[in-house]
Amino acid sequence: MHEALLELSQRAVPPPTLTAENKFRVLVVDDSKLQLKIVSAHLKKWGLDPVQCLSAQEALEHCKTQEFDMVISDWMMPEMNGLEFCKAFKALDRKTFGYFILLTSKSAKEEIAEGLAHGADDFLSKPVNPEELFARMQAGQRILEMEQALQQKNKRITETLSKLQALHEVIQKDLVEAERLQLSLIPENHVKFDSGDVSILFKSCGHVGGDLVGFFRFAQDRLGMYSIDVSGHGISSALVTARLAGYLSRNNKAQNIAFERDHNGEFTHREPAQIAEALNNQLLADMETEHYFTLAFADINLTTGYTKFVQAGHPYPVIVRKDSTTELVGTGGPPIGLVAGVSYQTETLQLNHGDRLLLYSDGITECQNAKDELYDEDRMQSALSNHMRNSGLEYLNDLMWDVSQFADGTPFYDDISAILFEFSGRKGK
């Protein structure tokens, strides 16, 4: 009788197309030996090698030692029914997805919904129809193949992200080192001289940037002070600033482009316009780069306050007088590194005791807020006048605070730098 039922159930079986490159591991669970044998026989004909269990408890023991891709389980079983087994199976710690088919004689929508709520992926009515079983297995196979493909993609993505993370950490480490190097190129932020103080403000919009400010002594009573803004941002701009810091060395006159030797081998000073021209020639001749830069350079007589300066595409220098009035000085001039043979003009100004001279980058005046308004020269001059009660670094920090208040949370898209000279005259005068 059992053999007759088995033979009848195997008629009109579809072609065996369930096998793939990796055979799916199938677990069949039914407390009926006949049903277990019938379902397993179909699976074997389709190229699968199912593991057979007569109880859910026995099936769970198998699940502890191997992972099954598909489970076909009867609903009504003693001790642990198919719903309970499905819930326990889905709760197992698995590396891959397990597809669960419930065999049931139930057809009510509420019962089907209950099975789905417990994690079942599909249902098959009893008695089992071979064609329907085959179709359900094919559907499960497609889902498993998609899940495996997704896992492979996720694995590749995870591996790629891991490599990118490692690369990012290396780049971040290099950027931090580059930032330290760039900061080392900038002199101490406050220096006192007999006749005045120099203070420096520097804030990069990233790890490294293209701004450079600094000063050096031409002679005991002569101070060279400059503000530079290299085009662009990031590493390439920072490399140019590093090169320029060498051209304006504080410690080596032989390397400093502001000096030249006369016929006796003695160092003499170049005029500010000559310094700009020499930098232009040097950049175009020695550095193969698409970058250019702007410059404001001042040669200050520390005794008299008489100052020579050059402006090469840079924002206008600002004089803040002792009485809090402000003046923008200069007539402009082309940036450095764009055209060979450009000439520049040396201009002059007079600082009196108590006056201040500010050179700065356009990161200040071109700072934007959420309304796309610019901070501009007028706002800067107003801030410089309003904060005259403070001096040195505190004065520059007041300016920075005013710019930040204007931005109101909008990120700075350019470096911010400034160098300030406060002329006090020689002690005792």
* pLDDT range class, residue 263, cuts 50, 70, 90: confident
* pLDDT range class, residue 422, cuts 50, 70, 90: very high
Q: Which of 411, 410, 412 is nearest to 370 (CA)?
A: 410
Give the tens place of pLDDT for each residue, 44-75: 988 888 999 999 999 999 998 888 999 999 98
Q: H or E segment at 41?
A: helix 33-45
User: d(Cα 28, Cα 51) in Å, to the nearest integer?
Assistant: 6
Q: pLDDT value at position 255?
A: 87
**Hey, what amino acid is at 58?**
E
User: d(Cα 227, Cα 179) in Å, to the nearest integer?
Assistant: 18
Q: pLDDT value at position 217?
A: 92
Q: pLDDT value at position 176?
A: 66
Average pLDDT over residues 247-253: 87
* pLDDT range class, residue 1, cuts 50, 70, 90: very low
**Beta-strand relationship, 70-74 and 26-29:** parallel
* pLDDT range class, residue 229, cuts 50, 70, 90: very high
Coil vs helix vs strand at 237:
helix
Would you say residue 324 has pLDDT above 90?
yes
274 token code pair? 């000559």
Q: pLDDT value at position 128?
A: 86
Work out whether the CA dihedral 99, 104, 109, 113 comes out positive or negative.
negative
Would you say residue 347 has pLDDT above 90?
yes
Average pLDDT over residues 255-281: 91
Coil vs helix vs strand at 409:
coil
Q: How far is CA 158 from CA 149, 163, 303, in A?
A: 14, 9, 66
Q: Which of 216, 211, 215, 214 is nearest to 241 (CA)?
A: 211
Q: Which residues contact 16 (CB under 8 A, 6 or more apart)?
A: 45, 46, 47
| Percent of the residues in the chain that have a pLDDT greater than 90, as a whole number | 51
Q: H or E segment at 228?
A: strand 222-230
Would you say residue 388 has pLDDT above 70?
yes
User: d(Cα 258, Cα 335) in Å, to the nearest integer?
Assistant: 18
Distance between first and last Cα of the chain: 126
User: d(Cα 201, Cα 307) in Å, to the nearest integer?
Assistant: 21
Would you say residue 426 has pLDDT above 90?
no
Q: pLDDT value at position 387?
A: 96
By residue count, the chain amounts to 429
- Of the ranges 217-231, 252-266, 370-384, which one carries the lowest mean pLDDT score? 252-266
Cα dihedral 82, 83, 85, 90 in deg (nearest 10): 130
DSSP 120-132: --EEEESSPPHHH
Query: What residue ranges in 237-292 does DSSP mark as E strands?
Result: 259-261, 267-269
* pLDDT range class, residue 249, cuts 50, 70, 90: confident
User: d(Cα 6, Cα 66) in Å, to the nearest integer?
Assistant: 29
Give the tens place of pLDDT for each residue, 197-211: 999 998 877 656 678
Would you say residue 172 has pLDDT above 80?
no
Would you say residue 14 has pLDDT above 70?
no
Q: pLDDT value at position 106?
A: 66
How far is residue 113 CA from its own chain's centroid? 47
Would you say residue 151 has pLDDT above 90?
no
Q: Which of 395, 401, 404, 398 is nearest to 368 (CA)?
A: 404
Average pLDDT over residues 313-329: 97
Reported as half-sphere exposure (CB side, CA atoms, 13 A), residue 429 has a value of: 14
| Percent of the residues in the chain that have a pLDDT greater than 70, as a whole number | 88
Give the tens place of pLDDT for each residue, 78-103: 989 999 999 999 989 888 889 999 88
Q: Is 256 in contact with 249 (CB distance < 8 Å)?
A: yes
**Hey, what amino acid is at 352?**
N
Q: pLDDT value at position 10?
A: 47
Q: pLDDT value at position 9?
A: 45
329 vs 6 pLDDT, higher one: 329
152 vs 393 pLDDT, higher one: 393
* pLDDT range class, residue 13, cuts 50, 70, 90: very low
Domains, the chain, ordered by start: 2-154 (3.40.50.2300), 186-423 (3.60.40.10)
Q: pLDDT value at position 242?
A: 82
Give the tens place of pLDDT for each residue, 364-387: 999 999 999 999 999 999 999 999
Beta-bridge mates of residue 198: 191, 421
Q: pLDDT value at position 85?
A: 92
Give the tens place of pLDDT for each residue, 299-310: 999 999 999 999
Q: Is 365 in contact with 374 (CB distance < 8 Å)?
A: yes
Q: How far is CA 220 from CA 121, 193, 217, 310, in A?
A: 88, 10, 7, 21
User: d(Cα 394, Cα 387) in Å, to the nearest integer?
Assistant: 9
Average pLDDT over residues 419-427: 84
User: d(Cα 32, Cα 363) in Å, to the nearest integer?
Assistant: 82
Give the tens place of pLDDT for each residue, 127-150: 888 999 999 888 888 888 888 888
387 token code pair? 């904060």
The mean pLDDT value of the chain amounts to: 86
